[in-house]
Structure 1
Amino acid sequence: MNRRTLAGLGAAGVLAAIALIVTMGSDTEPSSLLAPSDPEVVARGQAVYAETCAACHGGDLEGQPNWRERTPEGRLPAPPHDETGHTWHHDADTLFRLTKYGVGALIGETDYPSDMPAYEGVLTDDDIIAVLSYIKSTWPQEIRARHDELENRP
């Protein structure tokens, strides 16, 4: 092998090692947009939630009754955001996009029947992140840990 080939292989090896280290690091630290341990973010999120979300999702994040069953109009009631609901089954990016753009935009069906409005132009991105951080802050530690694991999947 000539010097140029060896140098190229050496550089490729260094890049592969860096990629491995970066990948390993991302598996051990939550990569979420959310900040459920930041008291200021959580307080802001709690206030925005009370003003904007609680009317449908409940003051205690309990959701509406029979939230898994469609109404006669074909819409699903507001789900709970506590540990009994499915919110924690979705990564932060999905939750953010659902809140900002609405269910129909998220699933690619603009005619999807939903009472959940899109909050683009109503709430700032920081407000949405704060609300989602507040919601996550209320989950039991086991559920938060499971959500963190979900956030760290490649």
Structure 2
Amino acid sequence: MIRRALAFWLVVAALALAGLVATWSSRFPAQAPLLRTDDPQLLERGRTLYTTQCASCHGVNRQGQANWRERGADGRLPAPPHDESGHTWHHPDEVLFRITRDGVAKAVGIPDYVSSMPAYGGTLSDAEIVAVLSWIKSQWPVHVRKDHDEINRQAREAQRGS
């Protein structure tokens, strides 16, 4: 009888511990930066994909379109630059990834947001999106990359606090 009760409480304790671990893991996921600027093969793949998929709007030199901060007659913003003069580096890796994969409206949670930026989730794999974004980041000056790393750190801290 005592062994049966002990076994019961051991099972309950194990389930409770498993629940705590699952809750802790989902609340505080181990997040490394998504974008990697230290992998030459990844960056070359990203450069190639940027040229074929992104440069027609964002520019061969990532300079964006003219007047990118002003909406056109169609109500859409022109493609922003992906160099240090733009706002790409102001967003954490996860946001950049979601915008690229899902499109702006879904990524920012505004269903009726109008954007010329297509969702690339059906065109590029997740790994290809990471390659493109990693290459873009690799082109920023060192001080901008450091600022972006800090933005990522703050985003991870904010996620842990939520």
Q: TM-score, normalised by structure 1?
A: 0.79
Residues 71-105 of structure 1, C-alpha deviations (whole Å, 9 max, x = no match): 01100000000000000000000000000000010
In structure 2, what is the Cα distance between the partners aligned to 1:97 and 1:128?
A: 10
In structure 2, what is the Cα distance between the partners aligned to 1:108 and 1:33?
A: 21
Matching residue of 1:121: 122
Give structure 2 stretches of 5+ with no counterpart: 1-23, 158-162
Matching residue of 1:13: none
Residues 1-29 of structure 1, C-alpha deviations (whole Å, 9 max, x = no match): xxxxxxxxxxxxxxxxxx9xxx9xx9xxx
Q: Which has the larger radius of gyration?
A: 2
Q: TM-score, normalised by structure 2?
A: 0.75
SS at structure 2 position matched to 1:152: helix
In structure 1, what is the Cα distance between the partners aligned to 2:144 and 2:104?
A: 24
The answer on whether the counterparts of 1:100 and 1:128 sit within 8 Å (CA) in structure 2 is yes
Q: What amino acid maps onto 1:116 in structure 2?
A: M
Per the TM alignment, residue 138 of structure 1 is displaced from its structure 2 partner at its CA by 0.3
Matching residue of 1:57: 58
Give structure 1 stretches of 5+ with no counterpart: 1-18
Q: How does 1:77-88 map to 2 (within 5 A)?
A: 77-88=78-89
Q: State yes or no: 1:71 paired with 2:75.
A: no
Matching residue of 1:11: none
In structure 2, what is the Cα distance between the partners aligned to 1:121 and 1:53?
A: 15
The answer on whether the counterparts of 1:31 and 1:151 sit within 8 Å (CA) in structure 2 is no
In structure 2, what is the Cα distance between the partners aligned to 1:34 and 1:132?
A: 7
Root-mean-square deviation (Å) = 1.7
Residues 15-74 of structure 1, C-alpha deviations (whole Å, 9 max, x = no match): xxxx9xxx9xx9xxx931111121111100000000000000000000000000000110
Identity of aligned residues (%): 52
Per the TM alignment, residue 107 of structure 1 is displaced from its structure 2 partner at its CA by 2.0
Q: State yes or no: 1:41 paired with 2:42.
A: yes
